[in-house]
Structure 1
């Protein structure tokens, strides 16, 4: 007899069904974290939201923090994949690639407020989320460094690291303030300003600086 994960019901294997339940739980966690004023997510809330029993929660996650980590990773990977795809589709002109990436990043955050809250909200004070945010900042800085090397020929070194960290940290703070209503600008205006800032920093020749 085939093991449970290999048995097919309704055209799906056990592994397929487990993956589907995991996706349901992550989506439920994203709904709850993305709507909450504080991080009070519980296993019971997630299961109720997903329409699944705790048995299936613990089939996929060790505890609530394990789910929170998976939700954060899901948001980061979703935004990163969409942003990189937009950059690659923009062609080889540096300015077009920068604009495409920033437009997609801002659109991803503005288009799904849950993403913005999970990535930036200061009311979600879970220590795990704080650590994950630091890790995701490093991840996005590495992505930005790669694009800066390709588009502007900036070599690896302290200058590239400084530019990447400055831009990623600054954009995160800008989007945090913008989502909170502290910056009265449209998506297009935010993108235009940031394209100007990025281009000015990336194109600056430190040998000619005063």
Structure 2
């Protein structure tokens, strides 16, 4: 038997030894427990709020012992951060997908993107609470610049959106970047108010409120571009 054959045999034997419970290896079982904790965290944090939930609450929800919690996370804040980033990815993907599937009409793109954002939040109130209420209050997310980086991601998404709507816009990149930050802040504050009210206002009313600034920007930039060509 060659050295290579010996190594392959050793790896195979190791994997075989790992598969001891329901056909899953130790690594796979650990990942499964981690996913259960994340699901439990979304349920608990999204229902009761981060500051009302303990590690024990999470473990009870996941039907795991606290030993398994600390196998994957050092503390509650680490689990919350993991959940926050996962939900942000989901929200951003929903918005971008809606925009890309919309017609080339800028107004339709604006409506599609904002509608996807608001629909996702209303259909997932736990997600909405975690992103737009608790995340703003968890100091560790600010200390680690998680909130800042997340806002910057949405700034860049909006900037790309503006460029997609108006590829020939006669504005500097830095100006568009500042405008995108402003648009992000505007929508974020409306979303926070809507979520904290328990979605009291209709989605249509909130959508209209969010769209106003985007449409005004579109009109303003279009007029300036037309004037520049004259």
Q: Same fold (TM over 0.5)?
A: yes
Larger radius of gyration between Structure 1 and Structure 2: 2
Q: Counterpart of 2:150? A: 136
RMSD, matched Cα: 2.7
Q: Deviations over 1:37-93 (max 9, x none)?
A: 561432211111111122322222222221111011111011111111111221322
* SS of equivalent residue, structure 1 residue 2: helix
Structure 2: state its 5+ residue gaps. 1-12
Aligned to 2:96: 84
Structure 1 residue runs of 5 or longer lacking an equivalent are none
Q: Distance in 2 between matches of 1:68 and 1:6?
A: 30
Q: 1:192 aligns with which of 184, 208, 230?
A: 208
Q: Which of 147, 164, 171 is the equivalent residue of 2:187?
A: 171
Partners of 2:136 and 2:147 within 8 A in 1: no
Report the TM-score when normalising by structure 2.
0.78
1:13 deviates by: 4.5
172-181 or 30-39, larger mean C-alpha shift: 30-39
Alignment of 1:51-200 (within 5 A): 51-121=63-133, 125-130=137-142, 131-153=145-167, 154=169, 157-181=173-197, 185-200=201-216
Match of 1:201 among 217, 223, 229: 217
The offset of 1:32, in angstroms, is: 1.8
Between the two proteins, the alignment pairs up a number of residues equal to 208
The equivalent of 2:5 in structure 1 is: none
TM-score by length of 1: 0.84
Contact 1:109 1:116 in 2 (8 A): yes
Deviation of 1:202 after TM superposition, in Å, equals 3.5
Structure with greater helix percent: 2
For residue 197 of structure 1, report the CA deviation from its aligned partner.
Answer: 1.7
**Which structure 1 residue ranges, 4+ long, deviate > 6 Å from structure 2?**
none
